[in-house]
């Protein structure tokens, strides 16, 4: 299973700053995202791609690369270059299922993160999440906020978009989606508020723009001891019941048992007992 499918934290690093690649990988993030798009000026696009390829081939890291959009002059060359790697490819402004299918034909391997950050992408979110090759979906709040004329930090303004993405990802059989960035770099309270809002709505990961955000993000999206203990009690009760049991005074049936099993699985995955 690719790290992109279960990563809690995804840390962006500019593609034209190769001196930061190893530092990003050592930050504790589940997945480094080498950024060829917003973090890189047009004059540095070619160098950023070359840096990303050199690092991927040298380290063998199962990282991600955010490429430029399908309507840019750099897109096609980046797809061709990354086809020779095992990197996950993050497509910005994902909104066209046909374009995603074409990417998948050239890349193969179900290794596309669809970064949905336009009004059209939200409108067509079910088709985007169901497109061939999409292994996970992410929300790009900064670009979408600019288009909608709202603040990227507003939870109310993004309630619909976040909920729509969670439902579409689940309907497409994808893992819980990845929430957008918290742009306040030195504000732990803002980060915690964003994490609480995202997880309450059903997100399972977050894009990070600074290494100091990684630890808090990983901790938040790892099942807590309390949640794990509850899940184990549910699993134990379910083994001795025909269909319905009671745990902590609440009824449990098949859907609850499936949720508990998911919590146990994720806990094992992140503590290293499950490869």
Cα separation, 159 vs 155, whole angstroms: 6
- CB-neighbour burial class of residue 243 (10 A; exposed 0-12, middle 13-18, buried 19+): exposed
* pTM of structure: 0.90
How many residues appear in the chain?
A: 275
What integer pLDDT is reported at residue 1 of this predicted model?
37
pLDDT at 240: 62
pLDDT tens for each residue of the chain, 275 residues long? 358 998 999 999 999 999 999 999 999 999 999 999 999 999 999 999 999 999 999 999 889 999 999 999 999 999 999 999 999 999 999 999 999 999 999 998 899 999 999 999 999 999 999 999 999 999 999 999 999 999 999 999 999 999 999 999 999 999 999 999 999 988 999 999 999 999 999 999 999 999 999 999 999 999 877 877 777 787 777 776 566 777 777 777 777 778 777 777 777 777 754 44
Q: Which two tokens stand for residue 57?
A: 């081939």
Q: What is the pLDDT of residue 108?
A: 85
* Coil, helix or strand at residue 257: helix
Question: Within 10 A of 200 (CB to CB), how many other CB atoms are there?
Answer: 10
Q: What is the pLDDT of residues 116-155, one digit of tens each?
A: 999 999 999 999 999 999 999 999 999 999 999 999 999 9
Q: How far is CA 93 from the centre of its chain?
A: 14
**20 φ, ψ to 5°?**
-100, -10
Which helix (H) or strand (E) element contains residue 195? Answer: helix 188-201
Nearest to 24 by CA among 221, 180, 210: 210
Cα(168)–Cα(175) distance, rounded to whole angstroms?
Answer: 11
Concatenating the DSSP letter of every residue in 116-183 gives: E-SHHHHHTHHHHHTSTTEEEEEE-HHHHHHHHTS-TT-TTTTHHHHHHHHHHHHHTTPPP-EE----
pLDDT of residue 213: 97
Q: What pLDDT, on a 0 to 100 scale, did the predictor assign at position 274?
A: 45
What is the set of domains in the chain, with CATH numbers?
A: 3-220 (3.20.20.60), 225-270 (no CATH)
> For residue 164, what are the CA distances in angstroms to 28, 152, 158, 160, 249?
30, 17, 10, 6, 32
């Amino acid at each position: 299973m690719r790290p992109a499918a279960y990563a809690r934290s995804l840390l962006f690093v500019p593609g034209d700053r190769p001196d930061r690649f190893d530092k990003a990988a050592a930050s504790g993030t589940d997945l480094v995202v080498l950024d060829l798009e917003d973090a890189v000026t047009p004059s540095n696009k070619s160098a950023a791609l070359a840096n990303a390829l050199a690092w991927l081939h040298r380290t063998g890291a199962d990282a991600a690369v955010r490429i430029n959009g399908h309507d840019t002059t750099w897109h096609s060359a980046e797809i061709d270059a990354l086809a020779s790697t095992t990197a996950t490819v993050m497509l910005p402004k994902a909104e066209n299922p046909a374009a995603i299918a074409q990417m998948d034909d050239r890349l193969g391997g179900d290794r596309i993160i669809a970064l949905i950050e336009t009004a059209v992408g939200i409108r067509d979110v079910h088709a985007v999440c169901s497109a061939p090759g999409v292994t996970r979906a992410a929300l790009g709040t900064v670009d979408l906020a600019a288009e909608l004329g709202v603040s990227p930090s507003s939870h109310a303004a993004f309630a619909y978009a976040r909920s729509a993405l969670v439902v579409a990802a689940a309907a497409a059989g994808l893992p819980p989606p990845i929430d957008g960035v918290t742009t306040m770099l030195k504000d732990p309270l803002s980060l915690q508020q964003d994490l609480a809002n995202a997880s309450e709505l059903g997100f399972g990961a977050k894009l990070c723009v600074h290494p100091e955000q990684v630890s808090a993000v990983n901790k938040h999206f790892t099942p807590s001891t309390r949640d794990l203990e509850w899940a184990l009690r549910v699993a134990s009760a379910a083994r001795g019941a025909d269909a319905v049991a009671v745990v902590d005074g609440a009824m449990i049936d098949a859907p609850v048992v499936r949720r508990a099993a998911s919590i146990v699985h994720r806990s094992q995955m992140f503590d290293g007992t499950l490869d």
